[in-house]
Amino acid sequence: MGAIAHDDFWALKNAADVFMITNDVTNRCNPLYEAAWAGLPVVSIFDPSTSDLLQDKRNALLAEKDDTEALGRRLAEICREPLLAQALREAQKDLASSFWTWEERMKVEVKELEKLVSQGGEILMETG
């Protein structure tokens, strides 16, 4: 689909039945978090970067990185088994409830930046 207009993004996510992500380097990215917020069941690969977010058969269906046949079977499994898909949706919503709000995230980031700035001033005084 290419780029999606910001105003159309959530309507598209809410129309989806499943979210599949199979990036080469890392799958820990905003679309994965957005899928959780939307309560979408996830099909993905076993990826150390998401091992704390995605658990096979709990909130996602996972396959080995290069096993495209297994990924296809996992996707078909969600499509054929509505109770499984619903259980994965609920688990994704539970996961999303543990995420910081934007306000919480910004407070933490500002605090960390203030700490860095304050430590940087001390380092400058020591070396100056």
Q: What type of residue is 109?
A: E
User: 3-class DSSP state for residue 44?
Assistant: strand
Q: What is the DSSP letter of 20?
A: E
pLDDT at 126 over 60: no
Tell me how far apart the alpha carbons of residues 16 and 88 are, in angstroms, rounded to a whole number.
Answer: 14
- Could you report the per-residue pLDDT of 39-82, keeping only the tens digit for each? 999 999 999 999 999 999 999 999 999 999 999 999 999 999 99
Which helix or strand (DSSP H or E) is residue 21 part of? Answer: strand 19-21
Tell me how far apart the alpha carbons of residues 83 and 101 are, in angstroms, rounded to a whole number.
Answer: 29
* Fold of domain 6-97: Rossmann fold (3.40.50)
User: Taking the domains of the chain in order of start, what are their residue ranges?
Assistant: 6-97, 100-128
Contact 108, 100 (CB under 8 A): yes
Percentage of the residues of the chain whose pLDDT score is greater than 90? 67
pLDDT of residue 123: 54
Q: pTM (2 decimals)?
A: 0.77
